[in-house]
Structure 1
Amino acid sequence: MKDWDDMRIFLSVARAESLSGAAKVLRVDPATVSRRIARLEAEADAVLFVKSPQGYVPTEAGARLIAHAEAAERAMEAAREDLQGRAEGLTGTIRLGAPDGCATYLLPVVTARIVRANPGLDIQVVALPRVFNLSRREADMAIGVSRPTAGRLRIQKIADYTLSLAASHDYLRDCPPIRTRADLREHPIVGYIPDMIFDSELDYLAEAGLSHVDFASNSVPVQIAWLRAGAGVGVIHDFALPDAPGLDRVLPEDFRLTRAFWLIRHADDARVARLNRFAEALTEEMRAEIAERARA
């Protein structure tokens, strides 16, 4: 185990749970990954992975090695940053996972400002309607809509945000008036696919007393596109309204939800100064952007 590159390949296989997945991340061919893992196992005199229907699963020895490999990874990252120095600003690549509503309507503006201040920084935003697995390094950090209660994580509240009922101006002009929540039952409803709601914080319609969804998608931009097309009434993030012309709030005095965004990181990353600095900038910029859009 003299070669850090072998350890890097080992970590990639453990996280991707496949040779091909690791090869794609590392930009090498799977045969190379297989040879390097075999060499590492020979040096360690231990089997590090077993192949299962779910993919490559670390053995007990492999699981023990993961902790040491991740410690080496953090040390290499800290050394790189120390050599480059803080004066250059943030550099390298940071991958950020986020729900698609946040990723579509907040992060493009926020991350563009951060990169303008740090030209050497590359940001990757992975927008998926699900919870990210930071242990598998699907992302360097993630934004969530609820606070995790398990796992070795570092969690920080970013900011509260609000959501409202909305529909297109044309729809509201041509359809029966909505004066109370009870009137909503006479209108087509836009919302999430019920069995694809990955977090209870996203079950907005239940709080409006609604259970049936006429136009359902697991994508926030799709839901907003339906609302703008006059499909019906749905719940929209207030911070998305400036990017959705033609939509009006419905029952603004009676219905308003408050949720929060949380920044979620692996606990061990607290010692990586570069990620700490990015997390600080991201939190500051997101708070400012949400506040600015609330005033729009």
Structure 2
Amino acid sequence: MQWDDLRIFLAVARDESLSAAGRRLRIDPATVSRRIARLEEAIGAALFAKSQQGYALTDAGQRLMDHALRAEQSVAAAREEIAGQAGRLSGQIRIGAPDGVANFLLPQVCAAIADGNPDLEVQIVALPRLFNLSRREADVAITVSPPTAGRLTVLRVTDYRLHLAASSDYLASHPPVRGLADLQDHRMVGYIPDMIFDKELDYLVEVGASRVALASNSVSVQLNWLRQGGGIGIAHDFALPSAPELQRMLTAEVSLTRSFYLVCHAGDARMERMNRFATTLAEGLRSEVARLEAEVDAADQARGALNPAGA
């Protein structure tokens, strides 16, 4: 059994497609198919079952997956040790994250990491769902709840805040909001209820909103609805500097706190490269959340100074 065959096997297992695996590996799908057939012949068992949904692992494929992942980790560790990168990160690392952190935090944090590591390739996969690290959908994932199953290492990165927000134009043209009860007279923006993939994202329950008139599974879509004067919703404080037309509301009554967790496959914890990347990423996220939230607080203080109570 050759490592190169296992590398192709892993690509098909992750992408569930010969053509997608070929693109990942930069080889044609016919070659991928031949190499998988050769590996199956050597093992004496079918590794994939083909269906309309793609290539799914058989029981034999699932058993081989664990061994192939360990081989991949060993090869990566050996390359890193032999290369002697003198503290620099290199190679490709894929981060899976909800689209809020993927849009408003990771771009600048990862760009800063890349500045100091020119041989590093960073990929951000922004999806409103949980990631399967065992299948290597991502090398590391950022979550809002710590996972409770799987061979994973979990690092609590930082807390972040969320508040009710709306555009100045919306508030100027609709009834005043003096308390939570007044929200019943307003159009609410939030998640599609049956597509909330983590209980920590069910924000509007905490403010007693019974109906979401404008709903999306994407934080970015929700924020843009708020910016366009679509209604009132819960927004991440760290996203508000990118939307100066929005202002926080009822901050004394509604102030939510959530946490980000950095999750890696347990086998990767032994790799010095992944440890360094995870540490650098966590430090960058902490710093960026603190910077952006301080910027929002300063903007609110300035707004209050310009519009003192009773003026």
Q: Normalising by structure 1, what TM-score?
A: 0.95
Partner of 2:299: none
1:81 and 1:121 mapped to 2: Cα distance?
12
Comparing 286-295 with 82-91, greater Cα deviation is found at 82-91
Q: Contact conserved, 1:16 with 1:136, CA < 8 A, in 2?
A: no
Q: Deviations over 1:214-251 (max 9, x none)?
A: 11111111111111111111100001111111111110
The percent identity for this pair of structures is 60
Matched pairs, number? 295
Secondary structure of the structure 2 residue equivalent to 1:231: coil
Secondary structure of the structure 1 residue equivalent to 2:133: coil
What one-letter code is carried by the residue in structure 1 that aligns with 2:287?
Answer: A
Partner of 1:122: 121
Shift of 1:184: 0.4
In the alignment, does 2:282 pair up with 1:283?
A: yes
What one-letter code is carried by the residue in structure 2 that aligns with 1:117?
Answer: G
Partner of 1:229: 228
Mapping of 1:138-153 within 5 angstroms?
138-153=137-152
1:149 and 1:231 mapped to 2: Cα distance?
37
Shift of 1:5: 0.8
1:22 and 1:95 mapped to 2: Cα distance?
16
In structure 2, runs of 5+ residues without a counterpart are 296-311
Q: Deviations over 1:109-160 (max 9, x none)?
A: 1111111121221111111111111112111111011111111111111111
Shift of 1:60: 3.2
Secondary structure of the structure 1 residue equivalent to 2:112: helix
What one-letter code is carried by the residue in structure 2 that aligns with 1:164?
Answer: H
2:38 and 2:62 mapped to 1: Cα distance?
17
1:175 and 1:61 mapped to 2: Cα distance?
62
Partner of 1:199: 198
2:111 and 2:23 mapped to 1: Cα distance?
27
2:192 and 2:15 mapped to 1: Cα distance?
28
1:211 and 1:147 mapped to 2: Cα distance?
28
Q: Contact conserved, 1:161 with 1:259, CA < 8 A, in 2?
A: yes
Secondary structure of the structure 2 residue equivalent to 1:261: strand
What one-letter code is carried by the residue in structure 2 that aligns with 1:154?
Answer: T
Alignment RMSD: 1.4
1:48 and 1:99 mapped to 2: Cα distance?
31
What one-letter code is carried by the residue in structure 2 that aligns with 1:224?
Answer: L
Q: Deviations over 1:161-212 (max 9, x none)?
A: 0100001112212221111100000011111111211111111000000021
2:129 and 2:96 mapped to 1: Cα distance?
10
Secondary structure of the structure 2 residue equivalent to 1:218: coil
1:57 and 1:215 mapped to 2: Cα distance?
37
Mapping of 1:1-296 within 5 angstroms?
1=1, 3-87=2-86, 89-296=88-295
2:113 and 2:3 mapped to 1: Cα distance?
31
Q: Contact conserved, 1:132 with 1:142, CA < 8 A, in 2?
A: yes
Shift of 1:86: 3.6
Shift of 1:52: 4.2
